Structure 1
Amino acid sequence: MSKRWVLKNTADENVVQQLAADLNINPVLSRLLVNRGITNFEEARFFFRPSELHLHDPFLMQDMEKAILRIEQAIAQNEKVMIYGDYDVDGTTAVALVYRFFKKCHDNIAYYIPDRYKEGYGISTQGIDFAAQNGFGLIIALDCGVKSVDKVAYANKLGVDFIICDHHLPGDELPDALALLDPKRSDCEYPYKELSGCGIGFKLIQAYAQKNDIDFEEVASYLDLVAISIACDIVHITGENRVLAHLGLQKINDNPCTGVKTLMQVAGKSKDLSIADVVFLLGPRINAAGRIDDAKHAVALLISCHEEEAREMGELINTHNIERKGHDLQITDEALSLIDNDEIMINRKSTVVFNENWHKGVIGIVASRLTEKYYRPTIVLTRSNGHVAGSARSVLGYDLYEALCGCSDLLIQFGGHKYAAGLTMKPENVPAFIDKFEEVVSATIPDELLIQQINIDAELELKDIESKFFRVMNQFAPFGPENMAPVFMSKNVYVSGNAGLVGGNHVKMFIMQPGSASFSCIAFNHAQYLPQLKPNVPFDVCYSIEENVWRDQRIIQLNIKGIRFN
């Protein structure tokens, strides 16, 4: 599949050159800084040296004082407190963090994770009933609740108070909770708006510690969980999130809690984890608990203090992840077969596939894989509780949620955001929905959005890639949304020696420019270019720069994102 190469707008050259001189770095690196909004020495120092001193005062968040007073009251009166959270990585890490912290000062505490299939996302009536029937006077809801107006009203009638800690965009009406912590509230003046759900939970315990003279080191001991939530919930890694992710990764790599340490062991990597490692190694295992069985198992692992108990839970979760992979691969193969054997589907601008026997817990993963393959808005549907449930994914620049609004007459309910959504419909509406979704997408998506885009940060000469450049570039980490690993473009490079295939579809080669060293490259899924990759044939590449470790030897390697012949 061909891809569009898009070079970012050049930053103000005077600012770039001045910053390069002030920091004594290559102007290409200062250009990366300026494109991130960093234009002077002090801002760069803040960026390159994230510290706990850069965290905001939690009491700047609307309703924080109310929340802390209510928790103090519950502890003083030995009231039963329920920690309630969503079943995904963000929700389970948030529950584990808040539960572990308050368990040290309050025994009368329990946690509750709704069943993905029986209760669905967010605060459930069943969860509120369980709290009321078992004498819980306070529920602290994490990573959900900001739109649960009816549910909170129901809880109020039963005499159950709610503290909501959410990071999603509120609706027109806020629930009548005792306290509602959400930086995205229109009346909240908290300086940073992009915290994860677990990040809001962290601000809650930070506020409690601050008011009750608990040392920050105690609060910081939970930052491994915060970093996992930031990585896996795909929130911006800017500002306060970048500080939390940086400190959390240090905790993961230096002294993780028992549960996270066990998770790393079963994932097969116990040191030098990056944000990408957290996303691809730890996150899927935590998620697998709720997708295949019960997300409470993930919380049980993350709150465990005993290595033997943690090991048993970790092995169980790893087994669930293996089962999840099996479902994932099987359903992906079946979906690909459906599309490839249907000429009408192949030529559409959207993909909607349905099989009533597919496992609901992995259809979101399959939708992502199909989007990568065909690069168009995609929905995967299956049967669930008498209805048809679906998971949807979009392509860069296309508003999937708006497209679903155009099909709302055929849906029972839907929700989500620009790039990912969930939906439910009556089984008899599936054929009409497939046609209507294609009609809406075809009418609203520009053709260029159906071609995958590679965003290039800067043009770079290969001779500029040396140890200092690589060392400074690595200080841009941790990488993630709004602070992605830089992608560079180099023109008129040549193969040095011979290019060859590895793993069936990947190209391994060395490239150089006149006057530069020869650089090792890996080009995943670029086998189609191999016949043209000959010595003395110039071509352009775009790539990220990484370190390849093999048998304790470390070399700089270029991870090729695109190849273009002149």
Structure 2
Amino acid sequence: MNLNPKTSILGLNWQQKTFDKRHATSIYQRFDLSEVLSDLLSAREISLDEIENFLEPKIKTSLPDPFELGDMEKAVSHVIEAIKQNKKITIFADYDVDGATSAAILKRFFRDIGVDVGIYIPDRILEGYGPNSQALLNLKKNGTDLVITLDCGTVAFKPLEDAAAVGLDIIVIDHHLGVLEKPQSIAVINPNLLDETFPHKNLCAAGVTFLFAVAVNKKLRELGFYNPPLEGGSNYAVVRGGVKNYQNAQKFYSSEILIKAKELRDNQTDAEGLLWFYLKNKQLDGHKFRRQQPFGNYIVDFVCLEKKLIIELDGSQHNEDKKIKYDAKRTEFLQQQGYKVLRFWNHEIFKNINDVLDVIFFELSSDSLARPLPEPFHGSTLPQGEGNINRAEPNLLNLLDLVALGTVCDVMSLTGLNRAFVAAGLKILRQRKNLGLREICDLAALDEEPSAYHLGFVIGPRINAGGRVAKSDLGATILSSEDEEEVKAIALQLENFNKQRKDIEVQVLEEAVKSLESGLNGFRNTDPIIFAVSKNWHQGVIGIVASRLKDLYGKPVAVIAIDDVGLKGKASCRSISGIDFGGEILKARLNGLLIEGGGHAMAGGFLVAAEKIAQLHQFFCKNLSAKVDEICAQKKAEFDIALDLPQVNIELLKELSKLEPFGVGNMRPKFILRDVIKVRANLIGKTGEHISATFSAKSAVGFQGQIQAVAFRSANTVLGQILLDPKSTKPMNLVGTLNINTWMGVEKVQMIIEDILI
């Protein structure tokens, strides 16, 4: 659909995304979806075979074998030997959200298997990005035997060489672009090494770290680390793989407990009845469940003997102290028999039955539940005197909220494995299991169901705030802590630091724009590559400012903060679609223009000698100007579908939510709302920088509806002038996204305006 001669207020050439209408019709007919959703799926080039997995992404069908990653086997073997020998392990992670989530994932996993590890996060200002020699040498001096670097280390050649010289073992887990040479280390696990054949290139560090945890977990299971069968003929009949006839085990139970179990089956609760409707008759991937089954002196709600999985449903009485202690004792007993226990509240069954079934399905299909009779784990006693007998295997699913947070905040493409990570992670986040995430959400007054938007724009900035303006380790600490008092204290600090960060960010952004408009320092906003440079800027906010400038100018941006003595500049970079800035940074480094640097296609960073900044700018402009000019000259912008106002309703928006999670690679659909008339418009927000407007249909027989719309940061723009002009009464076409705005329990459709065609 070509909208010419309609004129875009922003001067953009809006064109509809092309898609195969025949394919859209096939989707519509086969999957009973609306024409709008079918068209959107066709435009995303989702094949018929992929539709179901795209709309309901599952870890089971997406998770690869982690041992396909180069050096994974080597790294896992080394870590397990370190565990056996009680060696001291320290995690060295980056200070951003991806680093903090990666550190928390590994800290939590090791804690669950009884291994105490330390976390070291370098100071953003004093130490900068990645491993440094002094920090590694200090760790060795303080007794660390093995350092696992997360979200950094791929190009830290000198620091890792210095570490090796003093006998400090290093394992690198990273995702940033590498060069032909590898740093001196035990192993480098990175899907973006030049010689790496692993197909999932677009993982963040948290995603790679999760795969590492899966690999270690699998190897430990094979070694018999988890829950060996009880010896001596346990009266509780630990059934292996369903091979032993369960009827033979019933003789161990008294007639009283068997009668009680039957009574419970005959008088099941409504929640139990609903869940049993889905579990019975092998409906979940062919797995047989039993209900109200005796185990020792207990009766469990549901059990799959083959997979050794127990499901318990709890009413509100289970929130009382006495019942909590009883349930903990009961769960401990069941875990000692080799069973994994899932607990759900009754209200979850009624409100989110699909989410509950997804969790159960994941556990049934997870490789972590395949438990052949293992050989005993022949290792020394674990740290802190904990033995390795009867240790329950950790539920790695519970780490996916952290994987999702890292994936979204590091701006990874939400397709394929990442889409499955984020979809599953959001379900875990909604269960509020992570104390740190729960406290951050509560302080942020997040009272709606969290989405990928909240990960990137509500939770992420608060995690980042500590490293940007205060202590770098606060993010990793709050995400890994199980201490409620510590979590509450850190969450309050992060909330305050985030407010400080916003104030600093506004000041730096204003100075950067003025500098670029005036040509101060020799760099202008008309350059193909934007360089904003100053001695007065806080290094903690240059990444955010780079993002803002990229959005403002539509070009790749590097924001450079010069140190106090004027010798070096630290930069944070953001790119536009079609420009691989991370690759150019590596080229500049190989050409001797940088002290250090790296990144990926859409973002990066570097350290440069102050006297080489102008030369570096010329290097980037020479390599990228033609491509940038081509992209900018097109002024091309795409929308998905044009709609009339009567087509827009709550039901449509709820169906479109099946496309979530939205983000890079799967952006929220962009619509044109045709021929609407402005009813009213006014300024909103504390500073009056946003505009709220109401629109009605130009002509729709029998349709009296209106739609509320918001244009953010538009008060002093051409877009804002059109909206606020009382003379703007002619029909117009709105360009933007649609969402559901809930206020006082009432749901209404809302449009976020990005442009107007008149």
What TM-score results when the alignment is normalised by the length of structure 1? 0.90
| Other-structure match for 1:112 | 120
Q: Tell me, yes or no, if structure 1 residue 231 matches structure 2 residue 412.
A: no
Q: Contact between 2:641 and 2:670, CA under 8 Å: does it hold in 1?
A: yes
AA matched with 2:503? G
Q: CA deviation at 1:93?
A: 0.9
Secondary structure class of the residue paired with 1:556: strand
Q: Tell me, yes or no, if structure 1 residue 481 matches structure 2 residue 664.
A: yes
Q: CA deviation at 1:152?
A: 3.4
| Other-structure match for 2:646 | 463
AA matched with 2:632? L
| Other-structure match for 1:44 | 51
| Other-structure match for 1:520 | 708
Q: In the alignment, which of 57, 77, 80 is matched to residue 69 of structure 1?
A: 77
Q: CA deviation at 1:481?
A: 0.7
State the alpha-carbon separation in 2 of the partners of residues 272 and 182 from structure 1: 33
What RMSD in Å do the two structures reach over aligned CA positions? 3.0
Q: In the alignment, which of 740, 743, 748 is matched to residue 547 of structure 1?
A: 740
Deviations 1:483-524 (A, max 9, x none): 111112233x12153344433442412232543643222233
Q: CA deviation at 1:466?
A: 3.5
| Other-structure match for 1:327 | 504
Q: In the alignment, which of 23, 41, 46 is matched to residue 33 of structure 1?
A: 41
State the alpha-carbon separation in 1 of the partners of residues 594 and 542 from structure 2: 18
State the alpha-carbon separation in 1 of the partners of residues 486 and 449 from structure 2: 25
CA change 1:201–1:401 in 2 (3 A) is closer
| Other-structure match for 2:168 | 160
- Which deviates more from structure 2 when the two are superposed, residues 139-148 or residues 72-81? 139-148
CA change 1:21–1:535 in 2 (3 A) is farther
Secondary structure class of the residue paired with 2:679: coil
| Other-structure match for 1:509 | 694
Q: CA deviation at 1:12?
A: 2.0
State the alpha-carbon separation in 2 of the partners of residues 351 and 140 from structure 1: 36
Secondary structure class of the residue paired with 2:659: coil
- Which deviates more from structure 2 when the two are superposed, residues 165-174 or residues 370-379? 370-379
Q: Tell me, yes or no, if structure 1 residue 206 matches structure 2 residue 214.
A: yes
Q: Contact between 2:180 and 2:195, CA under 8 Å: does it hold in 1?
A: no
AA matched with 2:15? L
Matching of residues 161-200 of structure 1 within 5 Å: 161-185=169-193, 188-200=196-208
AA matched with 2:59? E
- Which deviates more from structure 2 when the two are superposed, residues 433-442 or residues 289-298? 433-442
- Which deviates more from structure 2 when the two are superposed, residues 439-448 or residues 78-87? 439-448
Deviations 1:134-185 (A, max 9, x none): 2322222211222334443433333222222212232112334323322334
State the alpha-carbon separation in 2 of the partners of residues 87 and 61 from structure 1: 25
Q: Contact between 1:143 and 1:167, CA under 8 Å: does it hold in 2?
A: yes
Q: Contact between 1:485 and 1:544, CA under 8 Å: does it hold in 2?
A: yes
CA change 1:358–1:485 in 2 (3 A) is same
Q: Contact between 1:98 and 1:205, CA under 8 Å: does it hold in 2?
A: yes
State the alpha-carbon separation in 2 of the partners of residues 224 and 164 from structure 1: 23
State the alpha-carbon separation in 2 of the partners of residues 483 and 187 from structure 1: 28
Q: In the alignment, which of 676, 680, 683 is matched to residue 498 of structure 1?
A: 680
Q: Tell me, yes or no, if structure 1 residue 387 matches structure 2 residue 601.
A: no
AA matched with 2:471? D
State the alpha-carbon separation in 2 of the partners of residues 73 and 410 from structure 1: 41
CA change 1:6–1:396 in 2 (3 A) is farther
State the alpha-carbon separation in 1 of the partners of residues 399 and 439 from structure 2: 16
AA matched with 1:111? I
Matching of residues 297-316 of structure 1 within 5 Å: 297-316=474-493
CA change 1:420–1:241 in 2 (3 A) is closer
Deviations 1:389-419 (A, max 9, x none): 2333344444545776679676544433444
Q: Contact between 1:511 and 1:520, CA under 8 Å: does it hold in 2?
A: no
- Which deviates more from structure 2 when the two are superposed, residues 109-118 or residues 454-463? 454-463
Secondary structure class of the residue paired with 1:154: helix
Q: CA deviation at 1:312?
A: 1.0
Secondary structure class of the residue paired with 2:693: strand
Q: CA deviation at 1:527?
A: 1.1
Q: CA deviation at 1:448?
A: 5.1
- Which deviates more from structure 2 when the two are superposed, residues 253-262 or residues 366-375? 366-375
| Other-structure match for 2:468 | 291
Q: Tell me, yes or no, if structure 1 residue 263 matches structure 2 residue 425.
A: no
Q: CA deviation at 1:444?
A: 5.5
Secondary structure class of the residue paired with 2:119: strand
CA change 1:43–1:535 in 2 (3 A) is same
State the alpha-carbon separation in 2 of the partners of residues 143 and 433 from structure 1: 25
| Other-structure match for 1:22 | 30
The gaps in structure 1 that reach 5 residues or longer are none
Q: In the alignment, which of 397, 406, 430 is matched to residue 220 of structure 1?
A: 397
| Other-structure match for 1:85 | 93
CA change 1:178–1:413 in 2 (3 A) is closer
Deviations 1:255-311 (A, max 9, x none): 231111122223232541211111111111211211222221222211211211111
Secondary structure class of the residue paired with 1:212: helix
Secondary structure class of the residue paired with 2:395: helix
| Other-structure match for 2:66 | 58
Secondary structure class of the residue paired with 1:421: strand
AA matched with 2:491? G
State the alpha-carbon separation in 2 of the partners of residues 479 and 38 from structure 1: 15
Q: Contact between 1:499 and 1:508, CA under 8 Å: does it hold in 2?
A: yes
Q: Contact between 1:388 and 1:427, CA under 8 Å: does it hold in 2?
A: yes
- Which deviates more from structure 2 when the two are superposed, residues 429-438 or residues 450-459? 429-438
| Other-structure match for 2:730 | 537
- Which deviates more from structure 2 when the two are superposed, residues 338-347 or residues 501-510? 338-347
Secondary structure class of the residue paired with 2:680: coil
- Which deviates more from structure 2 when the two are superposed, residues 196-205 or residues 395-404? 395-404
State the alpha-carbon separation in 1 of the partners of residues 218 and 51 from structure 2: 29
Q: CA deviation at 1:440?
A: 6.9
Q: CA deviation at 1:229?
A: 0.4
CA change 1:243–1:396 in 2 (3 A) is closer
Deviations 1:370-393 (A, max 9, x none): 333344443333222632223333
Q: CA deviation at 1:219?
A: 0.9
| Other-structure match for 2:750 | 557
State the alpha-carbon separation in 2 of the partners of residues 147 and 309 from structure 1: 35
Q: Contact between 1:253 and 1:270, CA under 8 Å: does it hold in 2?
A: no
| Higher radius of gyration, 1 or 2 | 2
Q: Contact between 1:237 and 1:479, CA under 8 Å: does it hold in 2?
A: yes
| Other-structure match for 2:254 | none
Q: CA deviation at 1:212?
A: 3.3
Q: CA deviation at 1:88?
A: 0.8
- Which deviates more from structure 2 when the two are superposed, residues 428-437 or residues 65-74? 428-437
Q: Contact between 2:89 and 2:118, CA under 8 Å: does it hold in 1?
A: yes
Secondary structure class of the residue paired with 1:73: helix
State the alpha-carbon separation in 2 of the partners of residues 161 and 437 from structure 1: 37
Deviations 1:418-457 (A, max 9, x none): 4433333333455666677667766653265167654312
Q: Contact between 1:92 and 1:295, CA under 8 Å: does it hold in 2?
A: no
CA change 1:141–1:440 in 2 (3 A) is closer
Q: Contact between 1:79 and 1:108, CA under 8 Å: does it hold in 2?
A: no
State the alpha-carbon separation in 2 of the partners of residues 188 and 397 from structure 1: 23
Q: In the alignment, which of 368, 391, 412 is matched to residue 547 of structure 2?
A: 368
AA matched with 1:543? G
Q: Contact between 2:722 and 2:728, CA under 8 Å: does it hold in 1?
A: no
State the alpha-carbon separation in 2 of the partners of residues 535 and 116 from structure 1: 50
AA matched with 2:731? P
What TM-score results when the alignment is normalised by the length of structure 2? 0.68
| Other-structure match for 2:361 | none
CA change 1:437–1:182 in 2 (3 A) is closer
CA change 1:437–1:48 in 2 (3 A) is closer
CA change 1:236–1:547 in 2 (3 A) is same
